[in-house]
Structure 1
Amino acid sequence: MDLDLAGAELRAVLNRLRRAQGQISGVIRMIEEGRDCEDVVTQLAAASRALDRAGFAIIATGLQQCLIDGEGELKSPEDREQMRARLEKLFLSLA
């Protein structure tokens, strides 16, 4: 399944991933500096949420795109069911 993230959707996902990247770098730095455990865990939880939200945004966009073919028409029920099963598997991998 190819995912075509365009415009604002792509920017939003990339921003979430960059935010998570910065938070993970912060967690590494905090551990190296011997910072308070509670602060480290709080920052780690924020990074985890940012990654989850990026994944959910990708899946939601994929779901929209998978229901419609290249000409803007709804795909057949069989195609939609196959895609639903694949997206459900992806969604559960994030849960």
Structure 2
Amino acid sequence: MEMAMAADELKTVVNRLRRAQGQIAGIIRMIEEGRDCEDVVTQLAAASRALDKAGFAIIATGLQRCLAEPGSAGDEDREQMRARLEKLFLSLA
């Protein structure tokens, strides 16, 4: 399956993944420094949520593209639908 996403959608997903990448690097440093277990787990949970959000954004965008016929909705309607689908998936997580 090919990953075809609009530039703005792709930018959002990449930003989320970069944020998670930074969080994971921070977690590694925390572990190497012997930081408190509770702090490490809190950061792990935050990184996990960031990854989940990126995945759900990809899923929501793909689903929206599958359901919408090309040219049937304006850009604003497509973005609203994508946001609603993403919110729905996040509510299930």
Computed over aligned residues only, the root mean square deviation of the Cα atoms, in angstroms, reads: 1.8
Name the CA distance, whole Å, in 2 between partners of 1:24 and 1:73: 40
Alignment partner, residue 54 of structure 1: 54
Partner of 2:84: none
- Does 1:66 find its partner at 2:66? yes
Amino acid aligned to 2:63:
L
Q: Residue 8 of structure 2 corresponds to which residue in structure 1?
A: 8
Give the CA deviation at 1:65.
Answer: 1.2
- Which blocks of at least 5 consecutive residues in structure 1 are unaligned? 75-90
| Alpha-carbon distance in structure 1 between the residues aligned to 2:57 and 2:6 | 12
* Rg (Cα) greater in structure: 1
User: C-alpha distance in 2, partners of 1:33/1:67?
Assistant: 49
Paired-residue identity, %: 76
Q: Deviations over 1:44-86 (max 9, x none)?
A: 10000000000000000000112246xx178xxxxxxxxxxxx
Task: State TM-score, norm by structure 2.
Answer: 0.71
- Would you say how many aligned residue pairs link Structure 1 and Structure 2? 74
Runs of 4+ in 1 over 2 A off after TM superposition: none
